[in-house]
Structure 1
């Protein structure tokens, strides 16, 4: 029923968490797809032990060169054969009832034949003290589209999703050879067409990794490149009226204009009118940003 995709790069020391969590699942219809993004820490030795033990089904692929999480996930999607997919990071753990809970919810969704279709089920994450990260959803079993979820509610905190495989295959993660693009831009793009079902429960335990994507130190230019592509994908199909009206889009426009001071890509850029609006928003907000920093 479930594909579990785990992209990994030099996470031999944490990958055991995912394996142990899968062993503990009380629902066993799943396949673990490990995409090794050219690790150099002998991850393959550990995975080969698990494959030899043959307790759970594992598909293991090593990429010829490091390409980043998004490309690794997209590669893994091509190997998925089951109807639902979960992306489990290589340092995660999750509760033993995770898959059985999700099976129940997906079965209910499919029986209702909802329109628009539900692309994913979202749940909360918790830290190692079992405290939920960020905000809860306005209500349990919140069936929601992009406008209500993002433009009308600013739900903060790390969340976790299971996906309809066919939808995720049709909307693979935005990726760039130059930088990591915020995953939320891909999820938001999908949510503009399909609904999400949001549950006020937490299955996944999120661990802070000092050498992870979000924690690693970056130069100003590296930050600008990431901001440029993330804001570009968040704005490329947005009207000028929406850019001005909604705080979410104004924030992206500010980031786009700011990042262009240090980086741009002539093949991936907003229209002239979108750029003009972004610059106006940037110039309007910059005094507030300066005052906030010195205050």
Structure 2
């Protein structure tokens, strides 16, 4: 009696699942020597073998469902967890997702060799069907790994961007109760958020009463930059600190006027020194020019 297509798929899935289960140890031993696993588990080969076994077990779960082309099939979660950390470590040393995908593709030949050995006649229908299923499964594995590697790369870039923003926007304690944020470069939404969070935290830890936002190093002040500054000033006021914006150059002042930006509610000073002198005077600290030497 001829099997239906659904029964054929189920039979093929059971065959591939049984093969992966039977040959689990041999597959793991061979995979432990391929670059993907060997380069990550450099201390202990046994650790690499165990990692390989977990991936084989996960692929057997996928095969048992018959969803060989479905990246969301049960079992691929384990693969993402295992290969995700591995691909992440490979990405951190400079390997591209395409290179990582090539290393994953190198996992197929050892398994295909073991699968062919299961059949006396490699050209038999069962052997051909098994190799086709294996090729599809390994292709999906490669796709899942590339997806995971790309996600890991995006997360790494996001972390590095966040770190750069934090480094580029330090909060400096100028005096007791006075902190300053020297802004340099473009002030976009992401960086403005970092500035605000760092500043508000410093107001609390330093018990700052005065905050100086110095925009001498900001090349262009447009309506968006002005909006970010206004929000930061408002947030500082809510924390109980007076905010002074310094470093407004003549060209910047002209641009603000031409754009019709209203900074009337914001206290401004020409330079950081002027802003610091203002904050010191309002704390009853006398500021005088240094006498010139004769």
TM-score, normalised via structure 1 length: 0.24
Larger gyration radius, structure 1 or structure 2: 2
Structure in which a larger fraction of residues adopt helix: 2
Structure in which a larger fraction of residues adopt strand: 1
Higher relative contact order (CA 8 A, sep 6+): 1
